Amino acid sequence: DTAVSQTPKYLVTQMGNDKSIKCEQNLGHDTMYWYKQDSKKFLKIMFSYNNKELIINETVPNRFSPKSPDKAHLNLHINSLELGDSAVYFCASSSRTGISGANVLTFGAGSRLTVL
Amino acid sequence: AQKITQTQPGMFVQEKEAVTLDCTYDTSDPSYGLFWYKQPSSGEMIFLIYQGSYDQQNATEGRYSLNFQKARKSANLVISASQLGDSAMYFCAMREGRNTGGFKTIFGAGTRLFVKA
């Protein structure tokens, strides 16, 4: 069983469209995240939810809206897609327990979004 | 503001030799964690090793060890006996605020490691 699963893996769409990426984790973790990895491989945190509550909201355009229906799911909806939104979006989860409270991130496989 | 710096965009190492990937960090939080992640060409992010700011000993995990120098704010990754499969992008990361509500892990720009046969 995949620990953190994201769908879809690839997404190609036109500018101006709206799209969603879904994420589910079966690790029992209490915190989930969205990261964006750009073409230069730089990883930047976008959002974090802890037990369905938004706790980190970085400087992200409000066209991006995360939703966490329960602590095992975190979805990302993007409105009015722009060329600059093309990237790989990683979902991750963590738990504050384990490895002395390290909060190790377990990542999904990533969703590659291409905006034409 | 917290910051992670990886100054080596690319590194080459001969198979079976050891290699050190550099990482320096900056934070005003006394409680923090340092991580290394590996990203092979297939794209997944793989956790390698963790060091807590209060840990007295350097972390080791198999062929990976973290050379933690707190006063210098450095957390270099040492890979011993390099293998061809070690060729990948390596990211240093830092998490602040162990006891606060929002755990935030930030990443360095990464170092691409090439292992030569």
Regions of chain B where pLDDT drops below 70: 1-2, 97-102
A7 contacts A109 by C-beta, under 8 angstroms: no
Residues of B in contact with A50 (CB under 8 A): 101-102
pLDDT at position A1? 72
pLDDT of residue A97: 61
Q: Give the per-residue pLDDT at A59.
A: 80
- DSSP letters, chain B, are --EEE---SEEEEETTS-EEE--EEE-S-SSEEEEEEEE-TT---EEEEEEETT-SS--EETTEEEEEETTTTEEEEEE-S--GGG-EEEEEEEEE-TTSS--EEEE---EEEEEE-
Rg (CA), chain A: 14
Q: Do A110 and B106 make contact, defined as CB atoms within 8 angstroms? A: no
- Phi and psi for B101 in degrees, rounded to 5? -70, -30
Closest CB to A109: pick one of B44, B52, B55.
B44
pLDDT at residue B98 in the model? 54
Which residues in chain A touch residue B52, judged by CB atoms under 8 angstroms apart? 100, 102
SS3 A42: coil
Do residues B78 and B70 touch, judged by C-beta distance below 8 A?
no
Q: What is the pLDDT of residue B101?
A: 52
Q: Which of residues 68-107 of B touch A (CB under 8 A)?
A: 89, 91, 93, 95, 98, 101-107
Return the percentage of chain B with pLDDT > 70, whole number: 93
Query: Which residues in chain A are contacts of B89 at CB distance < 8 A?
Result: 41
Q: What pLDDT, on a 0 to 100 scale, did the predictor assign at position A62?
A: 92
Query: How close A56 comes to chain B (CA, Å)?
Result: 6
Q: What's the pLDDT score for residue A56?
A: 83
The answer to whether residue A41 neighbours chain B at the CB level (below 8 Å) is yes
> Which residue type does B40 have?
P
CA distance A9 to A43: 17
The 3-class SS string of B21-39 reads ECCEEECCCCCEEEEEEEE
Helix (H) / strand (E) containing A51? none
Among all residues of chain A, which has the CA nearest to that of B34? A102
The answer to whether B38 touches B92, Cβ cutoff 8 Å, is no
Structure tokens that stand for B51 in this block: 């060091």
- Report yes or no: A94 and A76 within 8 Å, Cβ to Cβ: no
Q: Taking CB atoms and an 8 Å limit, are A43 and B89 in contact across chains?
A: no
Could you tell me the mean pLDDT of each successive run of 10 residues in chain A, 116 residues long?
92 97 95 95 93 85 94 96 97 76 89 97
Tell me how far CA of residue B31 lies from CA of A7, B50, B68, B98, in angstroms: 35, 14, 14, 6
